[in-house]
Amino acid sequence: MQVVRLLVNHECPFSRPVHRVETARVTHLCHRGEEALLEVHGPDASSLERLVAEYRTIGGEVLYEERDRTAALVRFAACACCRAGRVIPTLEGQGYLYLPPSSYSTEGESYEFLAEEARLDPHFRDRFPSDVTVERVGTQPLRSLEFEGGFLVPIGVLFRGLTDRQRQAIVSAILRGYYRIPRSVRTEELARSLGISRPAFEALLRKAENKLVAALFPYLTLGGSPSTDPGAGRDP
């Protein structure tokens, strides 16, 4: 079995508002049934208000909004894209199994599927409608059943401790390839894009990384207690 990760872009009413707010993120919690449910996060209250206003114009109903007004739950009567066969029905028609949830960001729409080795199709990009652009595809073998763990970390828990500037720094670094191997950009360039000095940018990035790692730590130990052996985990 293979896990297929997909990043696409197409004209979707749910992802369109996100493209206008750089650090916004939206998770499509449910693609089944009669309703669609979106968890919407904005970098600040005004950004969330703008996102929610756009979703309301296309029929969204706000079910819940956090007190700090940076996150909301929005319900729609239906998802037109799901029924029109844009992404999920296209690949499920080839025998791929959709693994929810999907998410929307400025990069595009992210999906995961499970596929038997024999069903992997190197030409599956050609199966999509002409208005769907496949930006990135990745596959990896399914070596263990870890899907349960994949749904244990609430995104809000990871990002809640970050300031707007820290979030902006790490999102910019990710989008521009700072964490790729080899790196596609230097901290000097990232600092210039934010209008700050290199030391200031690196301080923001370190603080963001430290907060994310601290938020992840409780979940990293769910599979068992970390070893207290100081030699554990060292390369042989």
Question: Residue 34: CB partners within 8 Å, gap ≥ 6?
Answer: 77, 78
Confirm whether 209 is domain-assigned.
yes
Q: Residue 224 has what pLDDT?
A: 47
Q: What is the mean pLDDT of residues 77-81?
A: 70
**Number of compact structural domains in the chain:** 2
Residue 71 pLDDT grade (very low, low, confident, very high; cuts 50, 70, 90): confident
User: Per residue in 97-144, pLDDT tens?
Assistant: 888 888 888 888 888 888 887 777 778 888 888 888 888 888 888 776
pLDDT above 50 for 93: yes
Residue of 209, 125, 228, 95 lying closest to 159 (CA atoms): 209
Q: What is the mean pLDDT of residues 213-234?
A: 54
Rounded-to-integer distance, Cα 189 and Cα 227, Å: 39
Q: What is the mean pLDDT of residues 150-166?
A: 63
Q: Which segment of 2-11, 55-64, 114-123, 137-146 scores lowest on mean pLDDT?
A: 137-146
pTM of the predicted protein model = 0.61
Rounded-to-integer distance, Cα 38 and Cα 73, Å: 6
User: Per residue in 28-49, pLDDT tens?
Assistant: 887 665 678 889 988 888 888 9
104 and 165 housed in the same domain: no
Parent domain of 12: 2-142
Domain CATH code at residue 179: 1.10.10
Q: Residue 232 has what pLDDT?
A: 44
Asked if 233 contacts 227 with a C-beta cutoff of 8 angstroms, the reply is: yes
Confirm whether 6 is domain-assigned.
yes
Rounded-to-integer distance, Cα 92 and Cα 115, Å: 9
Q: Residue 85 has what pLDDT?
A: 62
CA distances from 191 to 103, 197, 212 (A): 28, 6, 20
pLDDT above 50 for 185: yes
196 and 82 housed in the same domain: no
Query: Residue 152 is encoded by which pair of tokens?
Result: 């244990």
Rounded-to-integer distance, Cα 84 and Cα 3, Å: 24
Where is the domain boundary, 84, 115, 142? 142
Q: Residue 197 has what pLDDT?
A: 93
Decide: helix, strand or coil at residue 174: helix
Asked if 42 contacts 171 with a C-beta cutoff of 8 angstroms, the reply is: no
Cα pseudo-dihedral 201, 207, 211, 217, rounded to 10: 110
Query: Residue 234 is encoded by which pair of tokens?
Result: 């060292």
Residue of 200, 86, 193 lying closest to 134 (CA atoms): 86
Q: What percent of the chain has pLDDT over 70?
A: 79
6 and 115 housed in the same domain: yes
- On average, the pLDDT of the chain sits at 79
6 and 117 housed in the same domain: yes
Provide the strand spans (E) within the chain.
2-9, 25-30, 36-41, 61-65, 71-76, 97-98, 102-104, 109-115, 133-141
Comparing 171 with 217, the larger pLDDT belongs to 171
170 and 104 housed in the same domain: no
100 and 207 housed in the same domain: no
Q: What is the mean pLDDT of residues 58-71?
A: 86
> How big is the chain, counted in residues?
236
Q: What is the mean pLDDT of residues 179-205?
A: 91
Output Rg (C-alpha) for the chain, integer angstroms.
19
124 and 24 housed in the same domain: yes
Residue 17 pLDDT grade (very low, low, confident, very high; cuts 50, 70, 90): confident
Rounded-to-integer distance, Cα 151 and Cα 153, Å: 6
134 and 37 housed in the same domain: yes
Q: Residue 221 has what pLDDT?
A: 54
Q: What is the mean pLDDT of residues 193-210?
A: 92
